[in-house]
Structure 1
Amino acid sequence: MKQSLIQLHISVLLAGFTGVFGVLIQLNELPLVWYRMGITFITLIFILVLRKQKLQLAFRKIMILIGIGMLIALHWVLFYASIKFANVSIGLVCFAATSLFTALIEPLLNNTQWKKAELLLGLLSLLGIYIIFQFDIRYRTGILFGLSSALIAALFSVLNKKNITTAAPQTIMLFEMGGGFLFLTLLLPGYVLCFPDAKWIPSFADIFWLFILAWFCTVLAMELMLKALHNVSAFTQNLTLNLEPVYGILLAFIIFHENRYLQNTFYVGMACIVFSVAIQMQRIVKGRKH
């Protein structure tokens, strides 16, 4: 059990590093995600071949996964755009709005009633983002990209849950990464024409960080999560995942010293978001006990 908990926390910590790579990698947001998904897709093919794992999925299910992969690609592009136009801390704070968007979208797609508690907690997170947006005009563009990213994240999360399959997680991820990579491949020529000054050819340093991002923060993070779930409950997993933005912001403070450039309103807004997450975690624990 102890080893599984360590694996779980390492996987969440690795996920927290994804925002940091948005600064380390000098590519623009779309090429960055294109390389990330391409490397991940090819790596997963090698893993599945080495494990002799069969891809047994109905054509309709494959098409759905490819569509979800396109949404994931769009989410990542917007997330890294938020970081490029603001910073890692802002991008991760905006990601907290995913809970509100999920609370709004899930009942619409599943024909269920809205849960007042989830809506209120989501609104509290949104209030925190609004405080930062209103009083620190430097990051408004980044915040808008971040909120758009959170909206797309909520959408593909609900669709993933709705279209869950018995196939191996690596197989699901393969089709999603492949769908996202194909989608961005089609967009890339138009992107280069519209933004001729955008950097899309990686330097040697960019290539190094891209492989670290794909292998460790995407493939390895998923593998550790899957191994941990053999001995750790889904409840513990979901509770631990709430730490991802916290890890990411702390890493940004340590590596890039972003705390030097943030106004007091950032911490007020972040406090609202952390408070909403803490209440949600308390609700989960309370529900678990009952």
Structure 2
Amino acid sequence: MKKAFIQLHAAVLLAGLTGVLGRLISLNAGLLVWYRLLLTAPSLWLLALLRKQSLRIDRRDLWRIFGIGGIAALHWVSFYASIKYSNVSVGLLCFSAIGFFTALVEPLLLRRRVDKVELMLGLLVIVGIFFIFQVDPHYKTGILVGLVSALLGSLFPVLNKRVLERVPAETVTLYELTGGFGFLTLLMPLYLYLFPAPSLVPTLPDWGWLLVLSWACTVLAFNLSMAALHKITAFTVNLSYNLEPVYGILLAFLLFREDKYMGGGFYIGFSLILLSIVLQTLRLLRRGQAARPLI
């Protein structure tokens, strides 16, 4: 059991590291995600073949999963764009707005009543982001792009719910990343026309960080969380992913000293968002359920 908890929090820490790597890699957001998927998808296919994992899937589910993979790719692109336009801490705080958008999107797509408590907790996050926006207006573009990322991120787990009832999580992840890579490859000429890049090829340090992002923060993190599931409940795993933005912000403070550049509005906003996470965690503990994390 102790080993499972170590594996779980190592996975969450690696997930939190993705924001830091977004700043370290010099590529623009679209190319960064394209190379991440280029390295990750074949690695997962190789692991699946070595494990003799079942890859059979209904054709209707296949195209649905490919579509969700495209949404996931756009979510990642906008997430890293948010970091490029602002910084790691602001990008991760905007990521926390996923809860607010999920409270609106899930009832609409799954045709159920709006959970007023979820909506209020999500609004608390939006108020926190508003404080950062008001006091630190030079982060405006990063915050707006980050909110787009959160909206796309809220679609990902909601659309996955029905698919995961029929298809194992490992298979869903494999095909979604493949679909995301294919979609982004088709989109890349238009993206580069709108957002020209000084170089299309990563530098040597970029390759190193991309390998960490792809193999450690994606493949290894996913496998660690799957290994932890053999000993602890899915609820505990999912709940622990609430710490992802917290870990990421602490890493950004430690590595880049972003805390030196943050005004009072950031800390007010961060406190409100942290309060929302704590209240939602306590609420989920009472209800015994949690949302599936987006790695």
Question: TM-score, normalising length from structure 2?
Answer: 0.95
Match of 2:278 in 1: 278
**Runs of 5+ in structure 1 lacking a partner?**
none
Letter in 1 for 2:185: T
Partners of 2:28 and 2:197 within 8 A in 1: no
Letter in 1 for 2:239: L
Alignment of 1:158-177 (within 5 A): 158-177=158-177
Give 1:50 deviation, angstroms. Answer: 1.4
Give 1:41 deviation, angstroms. Answer: 0.6
Asked if residue 263 in structure 1 is aligned to residue 263 in structure 2, the reply is yes
Equivalents in 2 of 1:92, 1:206: separation in Å? Answer: 21
Match of 2:180 in 1: 180
Match of 1:243 in 2: 243
Equivalents in 1 of 2:125, 2:194: separation in Å? Answer: 35
Equivalents in 2 of 1:253, 1:200: separation in Å? Answer: 30
Give 1:287 deviation, angstroms. Answer: 2.9
Partners of 1:79 and 1:145 within 8 A in 2: yes
Once the two structures are superposed, residues 11-54 of structure 1 have per-residue CA deviations (whole angstroms, 9 ceiling, x without a partner) of: 00000000001111000000000000111111011111212223
Cα separation, partners in 2 of 1:195 and 1:118, compared to 1, 3 Å: closer
Give 1:165 deviation, angstroms. Answer: 4.1
Alignment of 1:64-143 (within 5 A): 64-143=64-143
Partners of 1:4 and 1:227 within 8 A in 2: yes
Partners of 2:164 and 2:172 within 8 A in 1: no
Give 1:239 deviation, angstroms. Answer: 2.0
Match of 1:33 in 2: 33
Question: TM-score, normalising length from structure 1?
Answer: 0.96
CA RMSD of aligned residues (A): 1.3
Letter in 2 for 1:182: G
Equivalents in 2 of 1:123, 1:251: separation in Å? Answer: 26
Instruction: Report the secondary structure of 1:54's partner residue.
Output: coil
- When structure 1 is superposed on structure 2, of 100-109 and 198-207 the one drifting more is 198-207
Partners of 2:71 and 2:180 within 8 A in 1: yes
Equivalents in 2 of 1:27, 1:58: separation in Å? Answer: 37
Match of 2:4 in 1: 4
Letter in 2 for 1:28: N
Match of 2:199 in 1: 199
Letter in 2 for 1:167: V
Alignment of 1:216-231 (within 5 A): 216-231=216-231
Partners of 2:68 and 2:156 within 8 A in 1: yes
**Runs of 5+ in structure 2 lacking a partner?**
290-295
Once the two structures are superposed, residues 201-229 of structure 1 have per-residue CA deviations (whole angstroms, 9 ceiling, x without a partner) of: 10111111111100010011000101101
Partners of 1:15 and 1:218 within 8 A in 2: yes
Once the two structures are superposed, residues 237-271 of structure 1 have per-residue CA deviations (whole angstroms, 9 ceiling, x without a partner) of: 12211100000000000011100111110000010
Match of 2:293 in 1: none
